Structure 1
Amino acid sequence: MRNIILQAKNINKNFGERNILKEITLDIRNGERIGLVGWNGTGKTTLMRILMGLIMPDEGSVKRLPMELNIGYLPQSTDYEGVLDGLMLEGNEELLLKATSRLGLEKLQNWEKERYRHLSGGERLKLALAAIWAKNPSLIFLDEPTNHLDLKGVNWLVDELNNFHGAAVIISHDRYFLDRSVTKVYEIEDSQLKEYEGNYTEYRNEKQRLYEQQVRDYDKQQRKIRMVEEQISTLKQWSEKAHRDAGKNRGDSENRQMGLKEYERVKAKKKDNQIKSKTKRLELELSKNKVEKPKEEPQVLFDFEASGKRGKRILEAKGLTKEFGDRVLFKQSHFYVKHGEKVGLLGSNGAGKTTFINMMMGSEPISNGSLWKSDTLKIAYLSQDVSDMPSEKTAMEYLSFSGWERVTKARTIFANMGMKEEKLLKPISTLSLGERTRVKLVKMIMQDYDVLILDEPTNHLDLPSRERLEETLESYQGTLIAVSHDRYFIEKLCDKLLLIEDQQIKRVEMGLKDYDKKQKEKIEPDKKEKQEIKAILDTKITELLGKISMVVPGTEAYAEMDEKLLELMKRKKEI
């Protein structure tokens, strides 16, 4: 069994009257990769910070083994300012440069200060992750590590975690990443911790199995309760009748004479005892083996409607070019988007995805070429930055809806998305990143749009919300342009791609899974050809072996065949 390096016992944490964490006990062992999941607001980050010693629990203890445990921490943030301080620390340069190079950030040692000021969110995240790995930690805490990470970065992080000898605790809503990186899942639900073995898919399957089993057990118990209650009800009716008959239409002298009154009383008492006995047995059964009613997951409902009629092309680029000084993001790019298409916008960190979106929205100028879009379009844009909202306003003030029907609909959507009424009346600055994303989504949902441009829409959404959003967007009739590093999200929704690669934006007439398959075939273009040649050589070798067995050794014919056989085997070995 692996060594335990951190123990938490009976952790309790309250915020005001709200109980966030209740009697949390867990062990973290060396080599474990633990996914920490749960709805937004359930206390995942709070628990992580308690385990790290950044905040104290109200009750309980955290013990590190050894005490001087070297911990690396990536906070849930969009700037990582603290993590990026002192990147080129003495003794860490080699590890840091190795990590950043693998992440696609070349020659970090030659970067000027100006370069750091223009980093994308993904580039800043890569630097933060590289800085953590350069410190050789034995325990790593990662809070949403893939939110701004491109596919190359995600693959790097998965490889690093799988080769990591220490332990890792990861908060993530990226299902693709969790499936490939974690070996255990801790779920926080109703302030308590539940443990599941395996990756995310295995956790969901086991959770569903347990839920279905609880439904069956609960239904079975309810049927039994109803049966016993019906028996008790019948006994009560008999008892009441016996009590009435004990003195019905007779005087005391007559009843004493006939003994009927006493008889009915005895019968009534017997029924009363049966009722008490059945009631007691039922209460005892429920106290020992009561099956709680299964709690269904809250339903997150999104309702995007597209206005307008379906048309043809709504966006077209000809020779589109974007430069920042000497730096070229993309040039001479030709592509289009049709109405009703669902398009994934992909590219590495810093390739220019958000810049291109800003060009579509008209907030970023074009360096060269043209970018036409239909004038009649109603476009909604969900940016990945949730810090641009008025922090002093409440959610309802930010939405500024008037009219009872619209306000009621907004409140209903918030409730379906798991946001309580009290949250809507607090300043936006007090809301979590996931809750702020929900506020932005509600603003979009409440209006009819032809085009939805979503820049990392799932970044701060919990897993159930991501899945519900996917289901809704599948049935959305308008045009969708999505930037996302959530691979499952792109694979499920987008059957067309706009790919920023080699300083060009190009349209790809297929989804991500098919595109990756095609790229793998391109990497080894001669693989099939080699296999075909090898098969032909095997046939010739087999044929020649058959012939040479019929020839006398030492003859000229034997020598010729032997030389040819050696030549064929040499060619096969080379292939």
Structure 2
Amino acid sequence: MHTNQQVVLKVMNLEKSFYLRKVLDNIQFEIKNGERIGLVGYNGTGKTTLANILIGKISPDKGVIEKSTDLTIGFLSQSIDYEVSDFHQSLAGSKSKGIFQHASELGLHKVFDWEEDRLNHLSGGEKLKLALSMVWATKPDLLILDEPTNHLDFHGIEWLVTELEKFQGPVLIISHDRHFLDKTVKRVFELEHGKLHFYNGNYSDYRKEKQHRVENQQHQYSVQQRQIEMVELQMEQLKSWSEKGHRNSTKQGRDFGPKEYHRVKAKKRDNQVKSKMKRLQNELEKNKFEKPAEEVQIRFQFDTQGKRGKRIIEAKRLKKSYKDRTLFYNANFYINHGERVGLLGGNGCGKTTLIKMILDQESYTEGDLWRSDSIKIAYLSQDVDDLPSDKTSIEALGFTDRESVLKARTLLANLGLKEALINKPIGTLSLGERTRVKLVDMLMKEYDVLILDEPTNHLDLPSREQLENTLSEFTGTIITVSHDYYFLNKLCERLLVFENQQIQRFEMKPEEYFNKDVKKEVNHEEALLIIENKIAMILGELSIIDQKDPKYRVLDQEFKELLKQKKELIG
């Protein structure tokens, strides 16, 4: 890591608004050499907008960005839809050697041999790996990565963590991946209501400190509210005395002296009230504590009708291949109603292809894939760009009757999509906000099977946690592809593992699957210990009995058998 803490990029008084909504308000910060910064915040708060301003893709309404003219910024965009044409250009260009090297480190071998057809059938993960290789090959001075782990498999995430450790320049990472942020960042910038807040440490440190700050703010706000109540009470008292004074001064009567006394007293009270009011207002203006914003509560609700037949999907000797590449062959597995099944495997092994085969969107080469006709399937794909960009959320969902529109609006609001956003064209929404619109579409209709392809990719953390909790209440079947191991582990109790062109079913959670080799080693050691203990006991017995004793032969035989077992275990 660089000890040189020179400022690489400086941002001053940055402002940006869209459709009268200020997403960035007087933003100021510096990025120093070697820093590792995580940029976090709810979906739609302007994180990607800030990244696009830093790289010069969009202009701010106001503000200055100071950086040296020769600063190369490597930018990984969140939506990896710079499709095949970009890859063709880059793979043919002068930097291609570096791209091939990085691609092979990420598990994409012989990229230079890939034909047009192969580049047209890239999985989300393969696209991301190629895009990452392209960014790395530009030899950047500063890296800005927008959701870099969204489509990466476990191997890819580990590679990225290691590469970032080796990288000398500063890195700004926009991410909702808790595990990844904890492993990589040392500072956190949080974007909230257009303002930037700064925290030291990794993601877990930020959550603790944020909680502490919110509690502190809540306390100060409560103290101030009590002060205000007290002062208001005093003022009420003064007012009532003042009014009483005015009343007494106007009472009919001959005695002018007391009337004048009450009038002067009332006037004095009026002045006291006014100066007290002024003092209070000044004090509040100086030290005003806002009520802390509540964390958005997100609710999903699912409803699925009675149980269907037990087995809903079954594959026999299933094979899928393209011209020069076999994804998998001789696959035999089944899925029962109500199961939560995670699809595990490296990028490009055929997980999304299998989903498309289950949905009848893709054919298979050999074998058989049976699906129950009585099931209703909902599919949330990785691609959230297929919603009509000129329509609002409600228009895109296509509901017209009052009850459905009301329910959809409530669901969108529960998902954190504010009223103002519901009425905006989908084209202006962030990818996370679009994912919510798709989720509402699934929630409004009663499905038996949910197929989720990277469902947490564009969701912010509160939404991820809420989705985990809600899906655990869903009584139907869930089939999911996810590289968010936190999410997968919480949700799935069975796996279909894609490895060496095979698909195998495992009755275990991802955590158990990843630790199964460790378990084997432990069991191996335990077995060895048991055998050695038995051998010691038999040797002890053999040393005290006569060789002519009939028991001697039995023990001797057992001793030889145990030696044989020990040899096998060691060998």
Q: Deviations over 1:256-275 (max 9, x none)?
A: 3xx32233334434433442
In structure 1, the partner of 2:540 is none
Contact 2:123 2:348 in 1 (8 A): yes
Equivalent residues in 2 for 1:86-485, closer than 5 Å: 86-87=90-91, 89-90=93-94, 93=97, 95-251=98-254, 255-256=255-256, 259-309=257-307, 312-421=310-419, 423-485=421-483
User: Which stretch has the larger CA shift, 241-250 or 499-508?
Assistant: 241-250
| Percent of paired sites with the same residue | 55
RMSD: 2.7
Number of aligned residue pairs: give it: 530
Contact 1:83 1:128 in 2 (8 A): no
* Residues 61 and 121 of structure 1, relative CA distance in 2, 3 Å threshold: same
* Residues 208 and 83 of structure 1, relative CA distance in 2, 3 Å threshold: farther
Quote the Cα distance in structure 1 between the aligned partners of 2:493 and 2:483: 16
Q: TM-score, normalised by structure 1?
A: 0.85
Q: CA deviation at 1:446?
A: 0.6
Give the AA of the match of 1:316. Answer: E
> What are structure 1's unaligned runs of at least 5 residues?
540-574
Equivalent residues in 2 for 1:562-573, closer than 5 Å: none
User: Which stretch has the larger CA shift, 366-375 or 220-229?
Assistant: 366-375
Quote the Cα distance in structure 2 between the aligned partners of 1:531 and 1:208: 49
Q: CA deviation at 1:78?
A: 3.1
* Residues 113 and 399 of structure 1, relative CA distance in 2, 3 Å threshold: closer
Contact 1:383 1:456 in 2 (8 A): yes
Q: CA deviation at 1:530?
A: 12
* Residues 46 and 390 of structure 1, relative CA distance in 2, 3 Å threshold: closer
In structure 2, the partner of 1:67 is 69
Quote the Cα distance in structure 2 between the aligned partners of 1:78 and 1:340: 33
Q: CA deviation at 1:421?
A: 4.4
2:491 aligned with 1:493: yes
> What are structure 2's unaligned runs of at least 5 residues?
537-570
Quote the Cα distance in structure 2 between the aligned partners of 1:326 and 1:89: 25
Q: TM-score, normalised by structure 2?
A: 0.86
Quote the Cα distance in structure 2 between the aligned partners of 1:444 and 1:128: 31
User: Which stretch has the larger CA shift, 358-367 or 439-448?
Assistant: 358-367
Quote the Cα distance in structure 2 between the aligned partners of 1:437 and 1:261: 74
Give the AA of the match of 1:398. Answer: A
User: Which stretch has the larger CA shift, 319-328 or 479-488?
Assistant: 319-328
**In structure 2, the residue corresponding to 1:304 is in which secondary structure?**
coil
In structure 2, the partner of 1:547 is none
In structure 1, the partner of 2:565 is none
Quote the Cα distance in structure 1 between the aligned partners of 2:405 and 2:480: 28
**In structure 2, the residue corresponding to 1:202 is in which secondary structure?**
helix
Contact 2:44 2:429 in 1 (8 A): no
* Residues 494 and 14 of structure 1, relative CA distance in 2, 3 Å threshold: same
Quote the Cα distance in structure 2 between the aligned partners of 1:101 and 1:326: 19
Quote the Cα distance in structure 1 between the aligned partners of 2:291 and 2:239: 28
In structure 1, the partner of 2:567 is none
Quote the Cα distance in structure 2 between the aligned partners of 1:402 and 1:57: 38
Contact 2:308 2:374 in 1 (8 A): no
Q: CA deviation at 1:532?
A: 6.3
Q: CA deviation at 1:16?
A: 4.3
Q: CA deviation at 1:28?
A: 0.7
2:98 aligned with 1:77: no
* Residues 526 and 341 of structure 1, relative CA distance in 2, 3 Å threshold: closer
Q: Deviations over 1:377-417 (max 9, x none)?
A: 12111111223334454433332213110011112222333
Contact 1:382 1:455 in 2 (8 A): yes
